[in-house]
Structure 1
Amino acid sequence: MAWRVRHRSRTICLSLVFITIFIHLLLAFVSLSIPRLPCDSPLPPGMRAFRDLARFNYTSDGIKRLAEPPTGILEGDARGHRDTVIDKELPARGGMTAGIRQHGANQTERLESDLLKLKALFDHPLYNIPTPSIPEDDWLLKVKPKAKESERSSLMWVSASQEGYDEVQWNSSRESHPPWLRFHLGITRWELYPQHDPNMELLTQQIATQRIVSAVQKSGGTQLKLVMSFPNYGQALFKPMKQEREEETNYNLYYFSDFERHNAEIAAFHLDRILGYRRVPPAVGRLVDVVKEIKDITTDRKLAKTFFTSPVGNVCFYGQCSYYCSTEHAVCGRPLNLEASLAVMLPDLSLAPRRSWRSPWRRSYSRSKLAKWETEPNYCSTIKKTAPYNKGTRLVDFMDMVILDFLMSNMDRHHYETFEKFGNSTSLLHLDNGRAFGRHSKDEPSILVPLQQCCRIRRSTWLRLRLLTLPQYHISDVMRASLSTDPLHKVAPLLTEPHLAALSRRLKTVLDTVSLCQKQQKEAGRESVFYDDLDSLEK
């Protein structure tokens, strides 16, 4: 009896095994007979820039074309990545491809419209205010009078090593000067360059594409930056990419612990120009080969010692500085190319000394203490009686800088500089903007406190700010257009759309603050909010 039970159990188990195998084979046959389509897994935000970056071919001549991916990459893409030949042949992908093309066409159309707005803005009378001829003393530098025959040889500039530099001869003719020298010779008391400067495009183009002959670390400062030299003796300040465009600054970080962002330096130059200030040195984006254009040519031994190859094969370096100069905070190529901002260097301090001024509204740079202006509502009354804010345009010049900083959320304006030659009667230099554009989801009202407390602003600034709220000159649109002219725009827009939207929101806050000041000043019978720098035009 027991034998029969065991026999039946064995028979049942064998039957179940055969049925299971049959079902698996049937399912496998059915699944193979159904055409399978590749499915794209969504890329993390930080990886989109990596993917786009890898598909571009960058050389010293600039961005030439989309690079052809290696054969191995094409084979891998056929298993499910985007934009491969196999993917494009799949009929089910046709709708998606058409959608992408339509989106691209819409983006192009929008950008063309924005560029027209930017042109219209710079053609507006507020950006073309007639001014008298510039007095001789208002030029920062002067070209020496014609040299005698025996002195002409001294005009030949040759580097000490003569290696990598062009042998050029400069004379009193503007045409003989390289673009960076024309920029230096064009600096005046009130602006770094004129509104319609034909030299500006050539200058930024050369910085973005010229061969780099020297790269050394710049002394001072809290974070890594290099001085790059070019064959025509021009120089630019290099700040590397440290943060993805989509990332926001950590809310738990204090302002003095924030990273410096390369795209912030570039965006600050464009925004400063849109506001009509022209007090930020020209800055442009560039992809730099960290081996050929830094490691192989640097004479800075301390910098050279910090290069290493990461576990995934990227070439990295970290230099020496107060913050973020360690292997944990290294900047890395992908695997060799590194995004960076290059800002034109101002004239050497031996030729044009600059004075550094402590900001009256400087933050405490402490985790526990508050600055005086944060506890005294009438703090500005004291400042207005203190030189150099008690006369001339220094106070409204400072307010121009405050508005710029609020729009781009820069909390790190502890000092500012002016050229010593011009004394106290000159505009301020808006330098070092790397900690701007860190957050788009939050505005920092404390940046605007000087304007709230002093209730003083240039009339021309106020009118231009109002102009930038109009649909035909909207600040977000003209900023998008201006940034699209930078070489790095072809990798990814330098500012994300939330940052552009934040500009519009913050602009409204500035104008609301001025309106509130007008109301308060009128009720108290105090001086006008506006410093009327347009009075001469109405006479």
Structure 2
Amino acid sequence: MKRTFVVAILYGLCIILVMTLMQHVNISGVIVQEGRRILPALDVHTYLFDQTIIATGHRLPTDMEESLYSALNSSRRLRSTNPEDRGEALVELLPANWSSPEIQPWQQFINNIHRHVFYSEDDPLVDEVIHRMKSLRITEIIVKSWTGTEFKFFFTLADGTPIIAKPMRLMINNEPPPNMSKDDFYERFQSEVAAYHLSRILKLHFVPPVVSRYVNLTSEIYQLAPDSLKKTFLNNTNGVRCFTGHCLKKCDKEHPICGHPDVIPVSFGLLLPDLISNAWIPNTVFGRTAAIFGKRTFCKELREEINKISSASRSHLDIVDINLFDFIQGNLDRHHYGQIIQFGNNSYPVLFDNGRGFARSYQDEFDLLYPMYKCCKIRQSTFEKLMNVYQKEGGLREAMRRSLKSELVHPLLTEDQLFALDRRLVKVLEVIYGCIGTNIEGVIINDGY
């Protein structure tokens, strides 16, 4: 009897010990079974991200840092099993007159697009296009069909640069409350600009050039506007110029777009005319539906869904890249991405709609990390780019702060939004750390891009 009692006590202590260890298991607790990486059947929100890393300057714990630096060094030694291939040049597919001496910088920028390289970091032409987008006057306002949930301007600048522009609807520090759906709050002009800077800092180059400008609704917009747009301008009240515009919602008289008193900050994005097609990705592929969290077949379904719209061998890693980029900027509204029509369905992804990023500095959209967490594969160049930014003094937030100083409108991000960038980068690296373990080559993939 006494022996049975002692065994029962020991058994109970073992259960308590196991439960305690399970509560403290970290992201690296991946079960290996029959040569495959099997993740615990736990909800990603309550297991993986139940605690926020709180450290000075949003840094990783020392042991994680050392492990990731070791992986970075190993990654660099593994480089170039596939040489980087820029792919076919777009210039060969554009009209012949675009090679004339009068070609404008924005046209040359498009000429320089390759199948696998949108634009190069060190290309001086990019800065010339940016300079002209900031300084050249608007010569034409083009009225297009009233699609989309937000109002957009379509401008032509003095050198013919086609522009898609979004006016400011909210003050910089106006963040949506937690209970508001993403479909109910305004897109943010500053998010379009900040997303472009973020893509350049991370050297992912997903986003076409975007700048911020001040626009005068009276002298620049009303004077050039076609009659259909002029009719939407409201009578001035106390010298404030407002208009309603046309869009599917929030463009009526209850939601006017107003200047201060007639000047308004606007994002100017380079419009790639007749070059972009949509590669539609269901929300389930991006890991935004709770029902898929427990699926063991998620990665297989991801590949199958991608294969329906793309023959590109690089597409799966592109989806991971896009999701990590959207997680860092806090954008849960990536319902599709773009591809260059002339290259078919095998080209560098283009992200041309970032208006709902940088919205909630206090909230991280963890669903977006699910393809990385579940499939545990990341492009080698992406891993190195993230680590290079992490290593810089001041981190991502200071790099972003320096980059945004070049804008005509500032500030574009609040301090909370800047600090959120570092916090999210740390969490991305935490997920990568958990995936790597001792299997660097199986997680960090060199596909030549």
* Shift of residue 172, structure 1, vs aligned partner: 3.0
Query: How does 1:163-242 map onto structure 2 within 5 Å?
Result: 171-173=99-101, 176-219=102-145, 220-242=147-169
Q: Look up the match of 1:327.
A: 253
Map Cα deviations across residues 404-424 of structure 1 (whole Å, 9 max, x no partner).
Answer: 100010000111121233234
Query: How does 1:67-86 map onto structure 2 within 5 Å?
Result: none
Map Cα deviations across residues 464-488 of structure 1 (whole Å, 9 max, x no partner).
Answer: 1111111437211111111111111
The 3-state SS of whatever aligns with 1:399 is: helix
Q: Summarize the Cα distance change of 1:342–1:507 in structure 2 as closer, same or farther, 3 Å threshold.
A: same
Q: Summarize the Cα distance change of 1:514–1:289 in structure 2 as closer, same or farther, 3 Å threshold.
A: same
The 3-state SS of whatever aligns with 1:361 is: helix
Q: Summarize the Cα distance change of 1:362–1:258 in structure 2 as closer, same or farther, 3 Å threshold.
A: farther
Contact 1:140–1:189 (CA<8 Å) still a contact in 2? no
* Shift of residue 269, structure 1, vs aligned partner: 0.4
* Shift of residue 323, structure 1, vs aligned partner: 1.7
1:340 aligns with 2:266: yes
The 3-state SS of whatever aligns with 1:416 is: strand
Q: Look up the match of 1:397.
A: 318
In structure 2, list runs of 5 or more residues that go unmatched. Answer: 1-75
Q: Summarize the Cα distance change of 1:181–1:194 in structure 2 as closer, same or farther, 3 Å threshold.
A: same
Aligned equivalents of 1:429 and 1:390: distance in 2?
16
Q: Summarize the Cα distance change of 1:131–1:329 in structure 2 as closer, same or farther, 3 Å threshold.
A: farther
1:356 maps to which of 279, 289, 295: 279
Aligned equivalents of 2:420 and 2:187: distance in 1?
19
Map Cα deviations across residues 165-193 of structure 1 (whole Å, 9 max, x no partner).
Answer: xxxxx7534xx321211111111112322
1:286 aligns with 2:237: no
Map Cα deviations across residues 329-370 of structure 1 (whole Å, 9 max, x no partner).
Answer: 111111111000000110x22xx35243224536899xxxx5
Contact 1:259–1:435 (CA<8 Å) still a contact in 2? yes
Contact 1:249–1:258 (CA<8 Å) still a contact in 2? yes
1:420 aligns with 2:341: yes
Aligned equivalents of 1:293 and 1:486: distance in 2?
20
1:529 aligns with 2:447: no
Query: Counterpart of 1:495 in structure 2: which amino acid?
Result: L
Contact 1:362–1:371 (CA<8 Å) still a contact in 2? no
* Shift of residue 292, structure 1, vs aligned partner: 1.5
Query: Counterpart of 1:418 in structure 2: which amino acid?
Result: Q
> Higher mean Cα deviation, 245-254 or 302-311?
302-311
Map Cα deviations across residues 367-424 of structure 1 (whole Å, 9 max, x no partner).
Answer: xxx5653563542232234552786110111111101100010000111121233234
> Higher mean Cα deviation, 268-277 or 353-362?
353-362
2:223 maps to which of 277, 284, 296: 296
Aligned equivalents of 1:240 and 1:528: distance in 2?
45
In structure 1, list runs of 5 or more residues that go unmatched. Answer: 1-124, 146-154, 156-169
Contact 1:407–1:506 (CA<8 Å) still a contact in 2? yes
Contact 2:285–2:305 (CA<8 Å) still a contact in 1? no
Q: Summarize the Cα distance change of 1:296–1:375 in structure 2 as closer, same or farther, 3 Å threshold.
A: farther
Aligned equivalents of 1:376 and 1:309: distance in 2?
57
* Shift of residue 461, structure 1, vs aligned partner: 0.7
Q: Look up the match of 1:8.
A: none
The 3-state SS of whatever aligns with 1:475 is: helix
Aligned equivalents of 2:209 and 2:108: distance in 1?
13
Q: Summarize the Cα distance change of 1:291–1:359 in structure 2 as closer, same or farther, 3 Å threshold.
A: same
Q: Look up the match of 1:516.
A: 434
Q: Look up the match of 1:431.
A: 352
Q: Look up the match of 2:419.
A: 501
The 3-state SS of whatever aligns with 2:295 is: coil
Q: Summarize the Cα distance change of 1:533–1:335 in structure 2 as closer, same or farther, 3 Å threshold.
A: same
The 3-state SS of whatever aligns with 1:343 is: strand
Map Cα deviations across residues 82-107 of structure 1 (whole Å, 9 max, x no partner).
Answer: xxxxxxxxxxxxxxxxxxxxxxxxxx
* Shift of residue 534, structure 1, vs aligned partner: 5.8
Q: Summarize the Cα distance change of 1:295–1:390 in structure 2 as closer, same or farther, 3 Å threshold.
A: closer
Aligned equivalents of 2:285 and 2:220: distance in 1?
37
Contact 1:359–1:414 (CA<8 Å) still a contact in 2? yes
1:264 aligns with 2:191: yes
Q: Summarize the Cα distance change of 1:272–1:308 in structure 2 as closer, same or farther, 3 Å threshold.
A: same
Q: Look up the match of 1:384.
A: 303
* Shift of residue 268, structure 1, vs aligned partner: 0.3
Aligned equivalents of 1:309 and 1:228: distance in 2?
24
TM-score (norm 1): 0.63
Aligned equivalents of 1:496 and 1:306: distance in 2?
32
Q: Summarize the Cα distance change of 1:421–1:453 in structure 2 as closer, same or farther, 3 Å threshold.
A: same
Please report the RMSD computed on the Cα atoms of aligned residues, expressed in angstroms. 2.8
1:450 maps to which of 332, 346, 371: 371
Aligned equivalents of 2:198 and 2:390: distance in 1?
14
The 3-state SS of whatever aligns with 1:229 is: strand
Q: Look up the match of 2:90.
A: 139
> Higher mean Cα deviation, 244-253 or 502-511?
244-253
Query: How does 1:44-63 map onto structure 2 within 5 Å?
Result: none
1:467 aligns with 2:418: no
The 3-state SS of whatever aligns with 1:257 is: coil
1:411 maps to which of 332, 351, 356: 332
Aligned equivalents of 1:353 and 1:513: distance in 2?
32
* Shift of residue 245, structure 1, vs aligned partner: 1.1
2:241 maps to which of 289, 310, 315: 315
Identity of aligned residues (%): 30
* Shift of residue 134, structure 1, vs aligned partner: 4.6
Q: Summarize the Cα distance change of 1:459–1:423 in structure 2 as closer, same or farther, 3 Å threshold.
A: same
Q: Look up the match of 1:252.
A: 179
Aligned equivalents of 1:144 and 1:226: distance in 2?
26
Query: How does 1:472-487 map onto structure 2 within 5 Å?
Result: 472=393, 474-487=395-408
Contact 1:359–1:416 (CA<8 Å) still a contact in 2? no
Aligned equivalents of 2:326 and 2:190: distance in 1?
15
Whichever of the two has the greater Rg, that structure is: 1
